[in-house]
């Protein structure tokens, strides 16, 4: 009864923190949803090109977001322990790291793009995707700067300002899509390339608003950025802390990206259907991801304060919230899959295949929620290498080989690939839950502050 009461008591602060973080994550994801829906009305080739480009872009984007979770970990620990200068140093290092990674990622896309013609995609897809991919590649810089500033605020249990600013960016993206994709208000109809410009502009406006809020308000860092040797050392330290999480997310998203490329070899219709299904699954994934980010903050804060007795109650409450949310989405995908697919595209073949993929997505919603929350809890314990190894094994030794065999060798097509990915999620979820309970057996007694 004591554990149950503690779990219920910790539910409220976790929910209070998770709600705006989740809403902000969903808002960012809705930029991709808006692109997919609005491009879907341009044509199947354009939608397949959008899918191809996003398969590449999401690998870079999510890897960077994973690295920058180190800002949240560092600031949360410092906030819980009352070490204010360390919070400022983590933010400054995160902003510098965002710019360096963004410039590197955009330059890499320009350099390797000609090689994408050899990936065996349907005719016209790679050519159609070029402008969109390269433009959105440059938007990684403001996107990662936004992530650093948002993690800084979230770690202080102050997530609402970031939510409202990012929410405004989503609506700006939709408006610019309407203008630039279809050529409204006197603008030229730019199709998929117009969606790329809309994403870039909206992300720049978002980061300007968020950076202004951080430096103009009460949350302004207590120290100025010195651009000295200590700043570079802080960046390197932050990078080392966040790299395993970045590699973990890279292995997961990379597996889905490779799956998308393999599905693309089957034709434009399977790739377009995959894009619809992965967009929907990625959007619902933002809900447990928001809970996971909140659980990282809460676990890191209580670790910094030496309250190790609250770790398992916080974890139980976080998993409960994630399971309830994903159960609702599972029902939605199982019941309304055809209606959802129809909202994206008009072509009957794409709708039929996308609906079948959404059924599989509905089945794996629960384990997806368990595994992402488990990763967030372990990050709060500063355990990032273990989850990385688990995720690499689950996706690259189980999910992708099995999915490739089912899709290509056995001939099950896109559905076979998705079945393989779902089984990889089951393996990851089980191993991450076990690791959290193993790690929380070894912690110091309550009242002993964690190392800074």
DSSP states along 166-230: HHHHHHHHHHHHHHHHHT-TT----THHHHHHHHHHHHHHHHHHHHHHHHHSTT--SS----SHH
- The stretch 257-263 carries a mean pLDDT of 84
Query: Which pLDDT belongs to residue 352?
Result: 92
The vertex-45 CA angle with 27 and 139, nearest 5°, equals 35
Query: Which pLDDT belongs to residue 140?
Result: 94
**425-452 tens-digit pLDDT:** 999 999 999 999 999 886 655 555 444 4
H or E stretch at 113:
none
Query: Which pLDDT belongs to residue 125?
Result: 80
pLDDT-based confidence at residue 347 (cuts at 50, 70, 90): confident
259 and 421 in contact (C-beta within 8 Å)?
yes
- The stretch 341-363 carries a mean pLDDT of 90
Please check the confidence at residue 376 and state whether its pLDDT lies above 80: yes
- For the stretch 312-335, what's the b/e string if a residue is b when 16 or more beta carbons lie within 10 angstroms of its beta carbon? bbbbbbbbbbbbebbeebbebbee
Distance between CA atoms of residues 37 and 235, nearest Å: 38
- The stretch 324-341 carries a mean pLDDT of 93
pTM as predicted: 0.78
Structure tokens, 235: 């960046």
Query: Which pLDDT belongs to residue 206?
Result: 93
30: helix, strand or coil: helix
Query: Which pLDDT belongs to residue 222?
Result: 65
Query: Which pLDDT belongs to residue 451?
Result: 42
154 and 72 in contact (C-beta within 8 Å)?
yes
Please check the confidence at residue 192 and state whether its pLDDT lies above 90: no
Query: Which pLDDT belongs to residue 445?
Result: 55
By percentage, how much of the chain surpasses pLDDT 70?
A: 93
- The stretch 30-51 carries a mean pLDDT of 75
Q: What is the mean pLDDT of the chain?
A: 86
Distance between CA atoms of residues 121 and 28, nearest Å: 28
Contacts of 369 (CB under 8 A, 6+ apart): 287, 288, 291, 319, 322, 323, 325, 326
Query: Which pLDDT belongs to residue 452?
Result: 43
**59-95 tens-digit pLDDT:** 888 889 889 989 988 898 888 787 788 888 889 999 9
Query: Which pLDDT belongs to residue 444?
Result: 59
Lowest mean pLDDT among 22-26, 28-32, 103-107, 180-184: 28-32
Lowest mean pLDDT among 94-103, 118-127, 150-159: 118-127
pLDDT-based confidence at residue 108 (cuts at 50, 70, 90): very high
């Amino acid at each position: 009864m004591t554990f149950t009461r503690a779990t219920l008591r910790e539910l409220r602060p976790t929910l209070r923190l998770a709600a705006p973080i989740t809403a902000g994550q969903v808002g960012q994801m809705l930029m991709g949803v808006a692109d997919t829906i609005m491009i879907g009305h341009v044509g199947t080739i354009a939608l397949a090109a959008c899918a191809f480009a996003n398969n590449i872009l999401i690998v870079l984007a999510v890897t960077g977001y994973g690295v920058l979770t180190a800002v949240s970990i560092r600031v949360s620990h410092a906030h819980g322990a009352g070490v204010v200068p360390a919070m400022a140093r983590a933010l400054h290092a995160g902003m510098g790291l965002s710019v360096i990674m963004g410039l590197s990622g955009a330059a890499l896309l320009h350099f390797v793009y000609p090689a994408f013609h050899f990936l065996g995609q349907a005719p016209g897809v790679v050519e159609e995707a070029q402008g969109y991919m390269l433009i959105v590649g440059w938007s990684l810089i403001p996107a990662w700067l936004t992530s650093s500033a948002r993690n800084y605020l979230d770690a202080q249990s102050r997530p609402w300002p970031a939510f409202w600013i990012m929410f405004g960016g989503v609506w700006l993206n939709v408006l610019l899509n309407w203008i630039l994709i279809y050529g409204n208000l006197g603008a030229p109809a730019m199709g998929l390339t117009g969606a790329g410009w809309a994403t870039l502009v909206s992300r720049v406006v978002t980061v300007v608003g968020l950076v202004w809020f951080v430096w103009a308000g009460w949350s302004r860092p207590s120290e100025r950025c010195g651009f000295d040797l200590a700043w570079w050392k802080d960046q390197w330290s932050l990078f080392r802390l966040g790299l395993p999480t970045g590699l973990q997310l890279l292995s997961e998203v990379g597996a889905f990206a490779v799956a998308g490329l393999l599905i693309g070899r089957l034709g434009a219709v399977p790739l377009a259907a995959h894009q619809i299904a992965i967009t929907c699954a990625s959007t619902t994934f933002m809900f447990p991801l928001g809970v996971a980010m909140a659980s990282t903050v809460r676990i890191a804060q209580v670790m910094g304060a030496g309250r190790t007795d609250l770790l398992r109650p916080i974890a139980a409450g976080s998993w409960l919230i994630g399971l309830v949310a994903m159960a609702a989405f599972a029902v939605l995908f199982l019941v309304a899959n055809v209606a959802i697919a129809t909202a994206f595209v008009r072509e009957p073949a794409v709708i039929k295949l996308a609906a079948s993929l959404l059924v599989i997505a509905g089945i794996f919603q629960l384990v997806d929620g368990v595994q992402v929350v488990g990763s967030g809890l372990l990050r709060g314990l500063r355990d990032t290498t273990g989850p990385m190894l688990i995720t690499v094994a689950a996706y690259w030794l189980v999910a992708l080989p099995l999915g490739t065999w089912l899709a290509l060798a056995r001939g099950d097509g896109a559905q076979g690939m998705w079945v393989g990915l779902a089984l990889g999620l089951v393996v990851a979820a089980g191993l991450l839950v076990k690791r959290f309970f193993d790690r929380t057996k070894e912690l110091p007694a309550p009242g002993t502050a964690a190392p800074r």
